[in-house]
Amino acid sequence: MFIDKNKVADLILETGLINREDFDLARAEADNKGVSVCDILVRQGKMSEDERRDVQMKVYGASFVNLRKRKIAKDILFIIPEPLARRYGVIAFERDEKNLKVAILNLDNLEKIDFLRKKAGLRIIPRLTDRASFSGALLRYQELLRDEYGAAIQKEFLSFQTISGESLAELPREKLLELARDKRINFVFELLLRHALTQGASNIHIEPRRDDTLIRYRIGGVLYPAMALPKNAAVILALKIKALSGLGRGAVLSKRKIEEDPLEIRPDGRFQLGFDGKGANFQARSVPSFWGERIVLNILREGDSGFSLENLGFHGRGLDVPRALMDKKEKLVLIAGKKQSGRTTTFYTFLDLLKSPGLSIATLEDSIGFQMLGISQTATNPEIGFNISNGVRRLAKQDIDVLAVDEIDNLNALSCSIDIANEDKFVFSVLETEENSTAKIIAKLGSAQLSSPSIAFGLGAVILQKLLPKLSARNRREHYLSVSEIKRLSKQADLEKVMDALVEERVLAEKTPWSKMLFYKSVIEKDNPPQADASSSAKATEDRQGKIMVSEVLKISPMIKELILKNETAEKIERQARQEGMLTLTEDMVFKAVQGLVSLDEIL
């Protein structure tokens, strides 16, 4: 399909989506970066993905396909490998003798997948789809791979009956390392890691029990049983992990301890493996337990661009604000919230979106949780007095464009960060807080001996976020609001403003009375805990809730800036921010409850 960029431009201007001045600026940037003008407009938040899709459908006459209820056959789905599907936003869903139908998020990527025509020997017929439909279809890859890997892992471990903790205890270090490199052990270990990665696991727990070894994955912040392996699997996996982690090297161990365990996991034992052209870092931590050595692997994916602000839960104006600040690369953005609120995930997503060969980006972190190529990452070291405060001061003297701090832990570090932001640098930092509104966070900064001008001119935005359990289709029931519930809800949120946002962002086609709005409440299952085997793991993956983020994003507008300079109260700052379109944390909960993502119980 020939992509006529002039027709796209003409339609954008004719429909009045973008004014001429903004369009010309976006086109100049697009030409400079070698991307489409629509990509720039979407990135700047001046055009939504839905609006881009509508324009492309009108220009090219491409139809829309909803993949949500389609169960795509394995042989068709795997025509496009999962990494390429994610990279280009395209999925094969139907074929015949001459044609291959693909669902695509952006027709501008069509030229980049022309290789499919040659590879498959078929004519490519594109159909546009939306982000929700595409994300749902991606899960089909995980379902197929999970079933395939789960059965293979069980089978392979059953072949290691002669390996036990007692037999390994008699072997010298050199023989242990030689065994750890055995081809069969390499194969089954890689299968296990792939099994975890395909399900989006952030941690793998290897837990010896009396009669078997339980493998659990942490997905979306929640631990789920993945499979139960033979008893000796814990010993085999520990051996492989220790060998890969460079165990025992550089450590000063007593003679007795070496005899008991010739290989020992360092506190920061790490190793790296490649999967489908991408690197994955693994950090191993080990503790003794009654039935054997319990090991947790933290998975740190390199260059993983699977996250986006939209996938995290940002939307509408709350999405436009951070995007605009990242484009301008100036001011300070505070990513705030309580513990376990997803702040670090947002932090690394910012880094992933910002990284570019043309930018000098430096981070300062207590512990580097995610190694990223092209970014200078620095970890603090309290033992030599290198903490967040003096680290920020030292990095400020470097020729950097972006400084990212995880996390601000004192007033001095915050003051230095604001000073850097006032020098036309882009700074973003994680801040732990118990405050429940962005306006209160700003007011607290003012009462912490930071000058009002430095806050007003250095701060670009404050993001307050929270993680909530995500509803699954299986564990929810329908609910319509009663009159009393509508009254209670209206006291916590501006329902008219939420309704406007729902219509504006096309969640709803038109305004709907709240009494007729479909909500959901969670259903607590009283069944016994699921058994840890491959089949129950597959079912658990379908049922699991995971977490979803709700947020409140306050932009430091000219009016907000004036209020800060006048040392006005948090109430006045919040009132102005809401008049400018900000959704509060509670209002974002209502927004996502209408989408069926969170339970109404979280609000009422």
68 and 176 part of one domain: no
Which position has the higher pLDDT, 300 or 23?
Answer: 23
478 part of a folded domain? no
pLDDT at residue 185 in the model: 84
Which among 266, 282, 301 is the end of a domain? 301
pLDDT over threshold 60, residue 535: no
517 and 590 part of one domain: yes
Domain count along the chain: 3
Mean pLDDT of 406-427: 81
279 and 315 part of one domain: no
pLDDT at residue 246 in the model: 61
Q: Which of 140-144, 280-284, 326-330, 463-467 has the lowest mean pLDDT?
A: 140-144
pLDDT at residue 461 in the model: 94
482 part of a folded domain? no
The string of pLDDT tens digits covering residues 572-588 is: 999 999 999 999 999 99
Written as six digits, the tokens of 249 are 């090297």
18 and 88 part of one domain: yes
Q: How many CB atoms lie within 10 A of CB 563?
A: 23
Instruction: State what percent of residues in the chain have pLDDT above 70.
Output: 82
Q: CATH number of the domain at 407, please.
A: 3.40.50.300
Instruction: State what percent of residues in the chain have pLDDT above 90.
Output: 21
Q: Tell me which residue range forms the domain holding 32.
A: 5-134
Which position has the higher pLDDT, 279 or 194?
Answer: 194
pLDDT at residue 526 in the model: 39
Which among 301, 334, 369 is the end of a domain? 301
| pLDDT-based confidence at residue 533 (cuts at 50, 70, 90) | very low
Mean pLDDT of 134-148: 73
pLDDT over threshold 80, residue 211: yes
pTM over 0.85: no
Contact 552, 584 (CB under 8 A): yes
| pLDDT-based confidence at residue 540 (cuts at 50, 70, 90) | very low
pLDDT at residue 538 in the model: 42
312-350: b (≥16 Cβ within 10 Å) or e: bbbbbbbbbbbbbbbeeebbbbbbbbeeebbbbbbbbbb
Which position has the higher pLDDT, 513 or 198?
Answer: 513
| pLDDT-based confidence at residue 488 (cuts at 50, 70, 90) | very high
Which position has the higher pLDDT, 110 or 416?
Answer: 416
pLDDT at residue 413 in the model: 78
468 part of a folded domain? yes
> What mean pLDDT value characterizes the chain?
79
Written as six digits, the tokens of 545 are 């809730």
25 part of a folded domain? yes
Mean pLDDT of 61-69: 80
Residue among 57, 52, 55, 33 nearest 41 (CA): 52
Which among 268, 301, 334 is the end of a domain? 301
182 and 40 part of one domain: no
Q: Which of 289-293, 445-449, 465-469, 555-559 has the lowest mean pLDDT?
A: 445-449
Q: Which of 97-111, 368-382, 394-408 has the lowest mean pLDDT?
A: 368-382
pLDDT at residue 63 in the model: 82
121 and 197 part of one domain: no
Written as six digits, the tokens of 205 are 């727990």
218 and 348 part of one domain: no
**Rounded Cα–Cα distance for residues 426 and 460 (Å):** 9
pLDDT over threshold 80, residue 158: no
Q: CATH number of the domain at 107, please.
A: 3.30.300.160
